[in-house]
Each structure stands twice: as structure tokens, then as C-alpha cells.
Structure 1
Amino acid sequence: MDNKYYQTSDIALATIISLSFPLIRITPQSSGKSLFVFKRNKEMEKLIEDYWFGTLKIEPKIYFNQLKTIKTRLYSEK
């Protein structure tokens, strides 16, 4: 995968990213995990940094509703 895409197997991070950026695809891996793929940009890099530093402020209901959406898409593609 080239550098213009960001991929993660972390469903929590993928959920956060997908609140602001479209999820391009979900790619199953032989390990049983899946990779969530997004088009990379500078705003996303800042969001990811804030996620890892624990400085994000997100409404819990919005997060959990998006997590349900991500899980629905994940399990429908298996």
C-alpha cells in the first residue's frame, strides 16, 4: 500500500477517523484481523496524533453509534 493511504487494524482508531474521513475499504488479513483503509491527509495525521496522546474530545453517543456502523460494515464484508 502506498503512502497516500493510511491503514490500521485498530477498530477504535478507525472509528474515530471515520467520523471525519471516509473509510475507503476494509481488507481482511490472514491473521483474522482486518485493515481499515483511509486516504491520508494532514488533518487526519493530526487526528491520529491526538488519539494517541489522549487529547480528543468526542461525544460518547456519536462514537458508539459510529462504532456500530463500522462493525456492521466489517461483518457484512466477511
Structure 2
Amino acid sequence: MTTEQNNSYKCSDLALATVISLSYPIEAIDRLNPRKAEFIFKRDDGLDTLIENYWRGELRVEPQTYFNQLRIIKSRLYGAE
């Protein structure tokens, strides 16, 4: 699930958040809902294009780079921030 608010973009999809975080820093992680965290990114036109390309299956990411970024995100999500 994703949410768009003004200049920020919230995303609870771990795979999408991983792809976005390869190009955009995670501004914050919203943990208000104990069952689902949301990653918050600063929104711009480039981010919107990246998300559209993700859902269209038009992105190409080097697998090891993706996996390493996923590990970093999981560490931030489940560890102390």
C-alpha cells in the first residue's frame, strides 16, 4: 500500500521501498501501526516516474545491489533507529 501526501510519499511495500531507496533516502519510518511500518520518502517528479516504472516492470536493478539494500532496510526496520 502506498500513500501520497503533499511533498512526501509513504510506502509499506518492502520491495518497492527497497527500489526507491536505491535512489532516494528514507526520510523516516512511520511505526504508528504495530502491524505495518511505512517508509517515508521526499516526493518529486523523478520519484513518481520511478514508481510508475516499477509497477510497469520497466526497471532493471543489479540483483546483488538490490539484495544488499534490502538487508539495510530490514536492519533499519527491525533494529533500533
Same fold per superposition (TM over 0.5):
yes
Matched, 1:11 2:14: yes
2:73 maps to: 70
Please report the TM-score for the alignment, with normalisation by the length of structure 2.
0.89
Aligned identity (percent) is: 49
In 2, distance between residues paired with 1:27 and 1:38?
11
Name segments (4+ residues, structure 1) moved above 4 Å.
none
Number of residue-to-residue matches in the alignment: 78
Mark the runs of 5 or more structure 1 residues left unpaired by the alignment: none
Deviation per CA, 1:23-66, whole angstroms, max 9, x where unpaired?
00111142511000000011111100000000100000000000
Please report the TM-score for the alignment, with normalisation by the length of structure 1.
0.92
1:46 maps to: 49
For the aligned residues, what is the CA RMSD?
Answer: 1.6
Deviation at 1:3, TM superposition (A): 1.0
Mark the runs of 5 or more structure 2 residues left unpaired by the alignment: none
In 2, distance between residues paired with 1:32 and 1:77?
17
In 2, distance between residues paired with 1:51 and 1:73?
23
